[in-house]
Chains A and B, each alone.
Chain A
Amino acid sequence: MLNSTQRRFGLITSLLFLSVCSAAQEKPAQIKASLPKVVDASVPFYPELARKTHIEGAVTLRVSTDGTRVSDVQAENGSSILARAALENVKTWRFQAGTHSSFEVVFRYRLLAVTCDPQCNCDSEEKESVLLRLPISVEITAKQVMLCDPAVEIRHKR
């Protein structure tokens, strides 16, 4: 389990990466200007209950800020388990001091297909990841549950 320092370090790394990526993205100037800049947050995780019960999908949150913190947040759709996890994460976000604003953020939770080899080594082709395009989109993947039970061979003289 990652501690809070590690989580925040991971986030800073992601934010640096995403800020490089976002420079290459084309966005209307007015949208860029109206969105607050996230300067601190906890890394979101796939809720274990959702992974264990194969729950995936998107959650849209309507977020309002008081300039630096989240002042109000409402889930507009999505599974209640995923919505709860997304809400908890958004509440940790801190923004660069600015004016009050309101925006939508979509959290996408996706399970990765897992396959097993004959020795029951099971894994997904894609690595688990958290992709942050703050403050408008968060994508979280986790491996689906897969139970595998090996075959056995017994040889004996007749």
Chain B
Amino acid sequence: MHTTGAVRSERAIRESSSRPDERNGFGDRWVTIDGHHVLIHESEAKANPETPRSLAAQIPCHIKAAILDSIKASNSPTVDDKQGGFHEEGGQWIVAADGKIVPVPAKPGPANPKTQGGAHVDPSDAINPNLKENIRDLGGTWHVHPAGTLHEDKGNVRTTKSFNQPPSDTDLKEAGLGISLVIAARNKTLYFYNKSGTIGAPIKLKEFLKGC
């Protein structure tokens, strides 16, 4: 049970309640623990689980524009990714002290033109760290799984090498603060995820950008 630190067992509350099962507000309920009536506050998120659409709706258009720029950048050449499509891009959006929501794009990850092993990026390693000077909170983190694909033919066998598109185990491990999303650049879809796994089914990039 998620209590969000709002378990209240004040004497006044216990004494004012004649019905232990009565609800005080959204997600609130009374339970009896060791003979005491305790008000448990369940967060709205628990009562109303997030979906990819509800999460997408929480992301402002200027952040979506920054995410779109990252996808384009992942498909474009960098110093070491001569072709484009073989490196990761990413970034974060933060809530500044004045309440403004600010996109903070990260430095590109290293190129992996032979698709041997993995592609990686630190989405918190900002191109411009000064943007985080007045940070109050983290809104979310995004990164792009590259679209690059290689084909090798040997005899009558074709080997296709590419980057895994859904969130990896490492991605899940680092989820936790704010919204986490990965963009599968190859098929232009988005996965929202948390520490437990992917949230719902992936959505199309077009749907994510709807209304912007």
Q: In the complex where A52-B124, A117-B117, A146-B122 touch, is A158 in contact with B158 (Cβ < 8 A)?
A: yes
Q: Is A97 an interface residue (CB 8 A)?
A: no
Chain A residues with Cβ below 8 Å from B163 are 149-152
Shortest Cβ distance from B146 into A: residue: A149
Min CB distance B80 to A, Å, is 16
Interface string of B113-152 (1 = CB under 8 A from A): 0011111111111100100111101100101010000000
B169's closest neighbor in chain A, by CB? Answer: A120
A53 lies within 8 A of B143 (CB): no
Closest to B129 in A: A54
**Nearest-neighbor residue (CB-CB) of B134 within chain A:** A80
Q: How far is the CB of A148 from chain B (nearest CB, A)?
A: 4
Name the A residues within 8 Å of B122 (CB-CB): 54, 114, 144-147
CA distance A117 to B116 in the complex (A): 10
* Most chain A beta-carbon neighbours within 10 Å: one of B118, B133, B153, B171: B118
Given A49-B137, A53-B92, A54-B126, check contact A151 B159 (CB 8 Å): no
In the complex with contacts A120-B117, A147-B120, A147-B122, A48-B177 CB distance below 8 A: yes
| In the complex, chain A residues 132-158 whose Cβ is within 8 Å of any chain B Cβ | 144-158
- Set of chain A residues within 8 Å of B174, measured between Cβ atoms: 52, 145-147
Q: List residues of chain A with CB within 8 A of the CB of B160.
A: 153-156
Write the chain A residue with the least CB distance to B120. A148
The reply to whether the CB of B156 lies closer than 8 angstroms to some CB of chain A is yes
Report the nearest B residue to A121, measured CB to CB.
B170
Determine whether A81 belongs to the interface, using a CB cutoff of 8 Å to chain B. yes
Q: Is the CB of B120 within 8 A of A149?
A: yes
Check A118 against B116 for contact (C-beta < 8 Å): yes
Counting residue pairs across A and B whose Cβ atoms lie within 8 Å, the total is 127
CB distance from A50 to the nearest CB of B (A): 9
Q: Is the CB of A55 within 8 A of B132?
A: yes
Whole-angstrom CA separation of A117 from B97 in the bound complex: 38
Number of interface residues of A (CB under 8 A): 31
Counting CB contacts under 8 A, is B157 at the interface?
yes
Instruction: Answer whether residue B88 sits at the interface, using C-beta atoms and an 8 A cutoff.
Output: yes
B106 to chain A, nearest CB (A): 9
Q: Which residues of the other chain, A, contact B92 by a CB distance below 8 angstroms?
A: 53
Q: Are B158 and A149 in contact (CB under 8 A)?
A: no
Within 8 A of B (CB), among A109-132: 114, 116-120, 122
Q: How long is the Cα–Cα vector from A48 to B119 in the complex, in angstroms?
A: 24
List of A residues within 8 angstroms of B84 by Cβ: none
CB distance from B115 to the nearest CB of A (A): 4
From known contacts A152-B161, A155-B158, infer whether A147 and B137 are also in contact, taking CB-CB under 8 Å.
no
The 10 closest A-B pairs by CB, nearest first: A118-B117, A54-B124, A148-B120, A120-B118, A151-B115, A148-B118, A150-B118, A148-B170, A149-B168, A154-B160
Seed contacts A48-B176, A120-B118; 6 additional CB < 8 Å A-B pairs? A54-B126, A80-B97, A147-B121, A147-B174, A156-B158, A158-B153
A-B contact list, 22 entries, CB within 8 Å: A52-B124, A52-B176, A54-B124, A54-B126, A54-B132, A116-B118, A118-B116, A119-B117, A120-B170, A147-B121, A147-B122, A147-B171, A149-B118, A149-B168, A149-B170, A150-B117, A151-B117, A152-B161, A152-B163, A153-B159, A153-B160, A158-B158
